[in-house]
Amino acid sequence: MSGQVRVTLPDGNSLEVARNSTCADVAAAIGPGLAKSAVGAFLDGELTALEERIVRDGQIRIITRKSPEHIRVLRHSAAHLCAAAVLELFPDAQLGFGPPTDEGFYYDFLVEQPFTPEDLEAIEAKMRELTGQGLPFERIEMSEKEAEARLAELGYKLKAEYLPELAEEDEIISFYRNGDRFWDMCRGPHVPSFGDVPAFKLISASGSYWRGDATGIRMQRIHGTAFFKQSELDDYLKLLEEARKRDHRKLGPHLDLFSFNEAAPGFPFWHEGGVILWREVEELVREELLGRGYKEIRTPLVMSDELWHKSGHYDHYRDNMYFIEKDDRSYALKPMNCPGACIVYSTDLRSYRDLPLRLAEFGFVHRYELSGVLHGLFRVRGFTQDDAHVYCTPDQIEAEVLDCLDMLRVVYRTCGFSNIHLYLSTRPQERMGAEELWDRAEAALASALRNSGEAYELNPGDGAFYGPKIDIYLTDSLGRGWQCGTVQLDFQMPERFDLEFVGQDGARHRPVMIHRAIVGSMERMLGVIVEHYAGKLPVWMAPVQAILLPVSDKAHEYAGSVEKRMREAGVRVSLDHRNEKIGAKIRDAIGRKIPYLLIVGEREAVDGTVSVRPR
């Protein structure tokens, strides 16, 4: 085995360092200033400690105190603090995993009874007690055999089960100890001590599964968050309360947009109002498609296993697929639309004059998700993608990517989202295709991003298995980021499907394939829109744009004539026929968040007018 390993830096440059060098050694090699301010690292996309040893080629990004990821170090430490408190109050609890997240942290536990709100209060109080003791985080490295003995001594049975798998990746197993109160097997990094976790809050508890296996051990997951300042935590909790009020899972049924039923877990039932909202957003996208030369297609929902083997999805994605056995053949509900688009492309011999060929599809796809992660419209098992697959020559890539980004800006701005963030996600550990093609694909996307004038960040190792991608995050009215759109460059799929075009030279060439989604999942996007507007949808989106409220029975006939004229003019209008007082009708209409309330009485009937009350 070579004594050197190569680490790739965020800017694309690389360093050769001695095998078993630490992340801290890499920081020092880059510069003394970076080494002094470093607090951790992302090694192949995984948050880890500066003491972590590097045993293979990979990607590295050093985290400093000024890095936005520094908060993840704090939250990782808060997860340990939470686990320590749980073990003090529930000594028989078994530890699962406890990573940081974008919003905070969680920790999974095996306990006899689900955690109650009172339990969370007690755990949080114990956490505060432990922070007062200021127990330092001490990293201890062991061999696999030593780690096995330590886990047995601690009674960590689930951690011991995971150890052999971890040992295949890491020759050295690291633990973190906080005095004699708490041990955990962990790669780090952490803040100096429990006392350096100043502001935290336990949010909720929910069910989960050990290692995400729905057929396995049921666990309890505690969700929490942590900040460096109490004022930041207070602001976050206010935001959380506002988010609860906007929760689309409550607003959707209240506004008669959609509902969920155990007859189809993870699949929404769309009501009339939701279908109207869906169609308005879909038509916005479709207008852009037509104006930009796209051709709309539709491909089958069920296709044979052979296709998914050919595309590579079976090897990389089969655990998330639904399969059907019929006529002595195996089929799958499509998890993605791209192979179907390749079949459409292959039905004719294409010329360079046909390229770029832009094939769009509002395709319904199915992906199996664990029941514990289903979340309203944000995480479902069946959803519609506003997919497009652009087939082009290599010299057309940049223009097509720029057009995709321009379309995205138009659609997002029209939907009310003006703030977006772009990330270039590069090759993951598990991928297919030659490295040379990956080099070309990543360079092409980076060039397009530079020439777009948009700022972007690198997201190393998070590309699709067939190619790098640009991920686009929009920001809602609460400042939350949502990943919706994506532009992915693919040299692999045309190769697998033997796609060709005849060039100017008369020879056959391989096209490049761009996977593009603007809203991404229609379901997810509509959930984001409902929460962004707190249900008060813009007039063009609103299922009911105006409601007529007769003051008395004497005005009903006139209100009916106004309703008819408005419908003929294309306005989505309803009429409240109920024998209720006008005040009650107004309150109900406001509760339904209808943009315009049109009040009519005898005077309006005589004058041929309505009294308009905006929402």
- Apex CA 362: angle with CA 359 and CA 367, to 5°? 115
Torsion, CA 11, CA 12, CA 17, CA 22, rounded to 10: 50
Reply yes or no on whether 223 is catalytic. Answer: no
Q: Which of 190, 515, 532, 585 is catalytic?
A: 515
Reply yes or no on whether 415 is catalytic. Answer: no
Q: Which residue has the tokens 């935290």?
A: 200
Reply yes or no on whether 367 is catalytic. Answer: yes
Measured in whole angstroms, the distance separating CA 568 from the mean position of its chain's CA atoms is 42
Query: Exposure pattern of 91-122 as b/e (b: 16+ CB <10 Å)?
Result: eebbbbbbebeeebbbbbbbbeeebeeebbeb
Q: Are 29 and 15 in contact (CB under 8 A)?
A: yes
- CA atoms within a 13 Å half-sphere pointing along the CA-CB vector of 318: 15
Q: Which of 187, 223, 366, 367 is catalytic?
A: 367
User: In angstroms, how far is the first alpha carbon of the chain from the final one?
Assistant: 71
Reply yes or no on whether 75 is catalytic. Answer: no
Tell me the H-state helices in 260-383.
272-291, 305-311, 313-317, 338-345
- CA atoms within a 13 Å half-sphere pointing along the CA-CB vector of 53: 15
**Distance between CA atoms of residues 587 and 576, nearest Å:** 12
Reply yes or no on whether 387 is catalytic. Answer: yes
Structure tokens at 195: 């006392």
User: What are the two backbone dihedrals, phi and then psi, of residue 431, each rounded to the nearest 5 degrees?
Assistant: -155, 165
**Distance between CA atoms of residues 269 and 166, nearest Å:** 42
Structure tokens at 564: 């008819």
Q: Which of 94, 385, 492, 545 is catalytic?
A: 385
Distant-in-sequence, close-in-space partners of 114: CB < 8 Å, separation ≥ 6: 205, 207, 220
Q: Which amino acid, one-letter code, is at 126?
A: K
Q: Which of 108, 387, 403, 471 is catalytic?
A: 387
Would you put residue 101 in left (φ > 0), alpha (ψ -120 to 50) or beta?
A: beta
Reply yes or no on whether 389 is catalytic. Answer: yes
**Distance between CA atoms of residues 613 and 596, nearest Å:** 6
User: What are the two backbone dihedrals, phi and then psi, of residue 369, each rounded to the nearest 5 degrees?
Assistant: -125, 145
Reply yes or no on whether 57 is catalytic. Answer: no
3-state SS assignment for residue 100: strand
**Distance between CA atoms of residues 404 and 406, nearest Å:** 5
Handedness of CA 275, 279, 285, 289 (dihedral sign): positive
Q: Which of 389, 509, 524, 592 is catalytic?
A: 389
Torsion, CA 359, CA 365, CA 370, CA 371, rounded to 10: 130
**Distance between CA atoms of residues 532 and 409, nearest Å:** 17
Q: Which residue has the tokens 């395709």?
A: 363
Kind plus residue range of the DSSP H or E element containing 241: helix 230-246
Q: Which of 23, 82, 186, 338 is catalytic?
A: 338
3-state SS assignment for residue 406: helix
Q: Are 126 and 93 in contact (CB under 8 A)?
A: no
Measured in whole angstroms, the distance separating CA 183 from the mean position of its chain's CA atoms is 32
Catalytic site positions: 338, 367, 385, 387, 389, 469, 515
